[in-house]
Amino acid sequence: MATQTIQRKDPSPVVRQPNRSSKLKQLGHSKALIIMCLPAIAFFVIFSYCPLPGTWIAFTNYNFRDGIFGSPFVGLRNFEFLVKSGQLWLLTRNTLLYNLAFIVIGNILQIALAVMLNEIRAKYFKKISQAIMFLPYFISVVLIGVIAFNVLNYDTGALNTLIKETGGDPIKIYSMAGIWPIIIIICQLWQSTGYGSIVYFAAIMGIDDSMFEAAAIDGATAWQRIRYIILPSLKPTFIILLLFAMGGIMRGNFGLFWNLVGNNATLFNTTDIIETSVYRMIMSQNNFTSSTAVGLYQSLFGFALVMTCNWIVRRINSDYALF
């Protein structure tokens, strides 16, 4: 703790000089890096910053004739329907909890998978298992919905057929709201874990070999190597990914939820998220203002959360903060 406090007061005296011209010089030194960043910067400027003024549409009664900034201002009226439908709390809760589960369980599994992959010595087995885990990422959520229905449905589903054949009573899974969070989380993890583990795997590959060599000389076991070298080295990656994920915590995976649950209101209590509910409410209303309002609500919430988490992280260890 003490060293960190000192660091913050006197930041990197060797690299940085406290005057402006040196900052420009520094930019000059980083020319190559900046050029490499340009496509990404251009992408965000064009697709994320340029449309930002368009969010004004959320506060207007939009019409084609007057355009976005000429249409009459209506204050927060476009946000009203979420409150009036009486579902704002339920939707916010579901969306948050699902995303928390996805982030926490997802990251733990991804790290575990990356570490396990790293420990495998047989080259071909490693490559093949990596490819197999990667594949679900490329399967469309529409197909996942169809597969789930064919496995889980009451009349003809594989699971219930098996139960019936073995003399049991079939289960009405599509009427059991309580079980769906588990099904949805499993589907999401099945789809995303293999893909997500690549980042961690890459981070492990980047760990300085000399540390492993030193550990080997000291007689560290495989478990000790994981515990004292790999996991601590993954911490910055984990925190950065976590901070990024926080920004989208109010955004649900619409495709997955819609294809698994659809219009089955029996399950809404545990499966309805902001996206699916809003889609049902305004899809046929020709209503861009309300959908923009919802998008803005989600964005502001995500923005606030990223800022807060980043602030907390910076307080604990500024090296791990995004900014």
Tokens of 158: 């594989």
| Binding residue for another protein, selected from 81, 201, 238, 257, defined by CB under 8 A | 81
Torsion angle of the four alpha carbons 62, 68, 74, 76, in this order, in degrees rounded to the nearest 10: 100
Give the range of 74-82, 108-116, 189-197, 209-217 binding another protein by CB under 8 A. Answer: 74-82
Q: Which of residues 234-263 bind another protein (CB under 8 A)?
A: 243-244, 247-248, 261-263
DSSP output for 29-82: HTHHHHHHHHHHHHHHIIIIITTGGGGGGGGB---TTTHHHHSPB-TTGGGHHH
Q: Is 100 left (phi over 0), alpha (psi -120 to 50) or beta?
A: alpha
Nearest distance from C-beta of residue 200 to another protein, angstroms = 20
Nearest distance from C-beta of residue 10 to another protein, angstroms = 10
**Interface with another protein includes 16 (CB under 8 A)?**
yes
Torsion angle of the four alpha carbons 104, 105, 106, 107, in this order, in degrees rounded to the nearest 10: 50
CB burial class (10 A; 0-12, 13-18, 19+) of residue 245? buried
Site string for another protein, 135-164 (x = CB under 8 A): -----------x--x---xxxx--------
DSSP letter, residue 10: S
Between residues 125 and 311, which has the closer beta carbon with respect to another protein? Answer: 311
Nearest distance from C-beta of residue 154 to another protein, angstroms = 4
**Interface with another protein includes 5 (CB under 8 A)?**
no
Which residues are paired to 60 by β-bridges?
73
Site string for another protein, 33-72 (x = CB under 8 A): -x--x---x--x--xxx-xxxxx-xx--xxxxxxxx----
Nearest distance from C-beta of residue 39 to another protein, angstroms = 13
Give the range of 122-130, 197-205, 210-218, 282-290 binding another protein by CB under 8 A. Answer: 282-290
> Could you give the CA distance from residue 36 to residue 303 in angstroms, rounded to a whole number?
26
Between residues 188 and 277, which has the closer beta carbon with respect to another protein? Answer: 277
Nearest distance from C-beta of residue 206 to another protein, angstroms = 18
